[in-house]
């Protein structure tokens, strides 16, 4: 059986979307957790703290200290993404809607581009603004900055072959990394986790549980 180009791309996306989650899960599989169980994958102590130096969607330099005191949901994607990124962002909008107003005010979603060649600050500003300009920030940087940050959190991504018009897709993992107000990596959400499950655990992180 020969797969079509679209089928091959879909298979590759599914593989990449689970790669980072699988590698992190291996790190924590043998660890026992105390207290109430999390619905998401608990990566406390197994991934580095939030740290980066990038460019925000307003064109200004930004680093992790900007979000000190807030719970951050970090997602690596790109604005030309045809399906996984808008689906994930829509799911995160559902998560925000499920939080009470007090908790939602303490949450920020960081959309980090894996396609800095096309994702200018303005492009990111327009993209995240279409979802939620209050809670979402778009971040970009140089190829080296993005590659270094992706390696830090075991994020896999790959530029696909350009079509005759010069367009291309970026196959990438779709995990969402959740950091607490102190910038510590706490949880990992995948596309198998429901908005209810994510909202439940995010609320616990915001409120300092676990």
C-alpha neighbours within 13 Å on the C-beta side of residue 121: 11
Please give the residue that has the higher pLDDT: either 167 or 67: 67
Residue written as tokens 């460019």? 55
Pair 126, 153: CB distance under 8 Å: no
Q: What is the mean pLDDT of residues 151-165?
A: 90
Q: Which of 173, 174, 178, 175 is nearest to 199 (CA)?
A: 178
Pair 13, 84: CB distance under 8 Å: yes
The yes-or-no verdict on residue 10 having pLDDT over 90 is no
Strands 107-113 and 71-77, bridge-based pairing: parallel
Q: What is the pLDDT of residues 45-77, one digit of tens each?
A: 999 999 999 999 999 999 999 999 999 999 999
CA dihedral 133, 94, 127, 48 (to 10 degrees): 90
Tell me the pLDDT band of 159, cut-offs 50, 70 and 90: confident
The yes-or-no verdict on residue 195 having pLDDT over 80 is yes
Which pLDDT belongs to residue 23? Answer: 53
Edge-first strand order for the sheet with 61-63 is 41-42, 185-189, 176-179, 71-77, 107-113, 136-140, 53-56, 61-63
Pair 135, 71: CB distance under 8 Å: no
Q: What is the mean pLDDT of residues 141-150?
A: 96
Please give the residue that has the higher pLDDT: either 200 or 33: 200
Which pLDDT belongs to residue 17? Answer: 52
The yes-or-no verdict on residue 34 having pLDDT over 80 is no
The yes-or-no verdict on residue 41 having pLDDT over 60 is yes
Q: What is the pLDDT of residues 85-121, one digit of tens each?
A: 999 999 999 999 999 999 999 999 999 999 999 999 9
Q: Per the structure, how many domains does the chain have?
A: 1
The dihedral of CA 117, 123, 127, 129: what is its sign?
A: positive
**Residue percentage of the chain with pLDDT more than 90:** 76
Tell me the pLDDT band of 163, cut-offs 50, 70 and 90: confident
Q: What tokens does 204 get?
A: 């616990």
Tell me the pLDDT band of 161, cut-offs 50, 70 and 90: confident
The yes-or-no verdict on residue 28 having pLDDT over 70 is no
Which pLDDT belongs to residue 35? Answer: 63
Which pLDDT belongs to residue 30? Answer: 39
Residue written as tokens 């809607």? 97
Residues 6+ apart with CB under 8 A from 65: none
Query: The CATH number of the domain where 70 resides is what?
Result: 3.40.30.10
Domain extent, residue 74, equals 5-29+38-206
Q: Which of 51, 54, 199, 58 is nearest to 128 (CA)?
A: 58
Mean pLDDT of all residues belonging to the chain: 88
């Amino acid at each position: 059986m020969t797969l079509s180009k679209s089928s091959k791309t879909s298979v590759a996306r599914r593989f990449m979307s689970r790669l980072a989650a699988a590698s992190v899960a291996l790190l924590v599989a043998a660890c026992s957790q105390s207290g109430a169980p999390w619905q998401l994958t608990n990566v406390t102590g197994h991934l580095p703290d939030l740290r980066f130096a990038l460019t925000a969607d307003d064109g200004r330099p930004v680093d992790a200290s900007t979000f000190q005191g807030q719970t951050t949901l970090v997602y690596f994607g790109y604005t030309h993404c045809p399906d996984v990124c808008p689906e994930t962002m829509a799911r995160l909008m559902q998560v925000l809607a499920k939080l009470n107003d007090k908790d939602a005010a303490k949450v920020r979603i960081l959309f980090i581009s894996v396609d800095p060649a096309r994702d200018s600050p303005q492009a990111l500003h327009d993209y995240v603004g279409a979802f939620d300009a209050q809670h979402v920030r778009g971040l970009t940087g140089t190829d080296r900055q993005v590659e270094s940050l992706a390696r830090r959190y075991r994020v896999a991504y790959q530029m696909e072959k350009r079509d005759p018009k010069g367009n291309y897709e970026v196959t990438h993992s779709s995990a969402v990394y959740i950091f607490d107000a102190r910038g510590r990596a706490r949880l990992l959400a995948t596309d198998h986790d429901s908005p209810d499950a994510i909202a439940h655990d995010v609320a616990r992180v915001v409120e300092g549980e676990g």
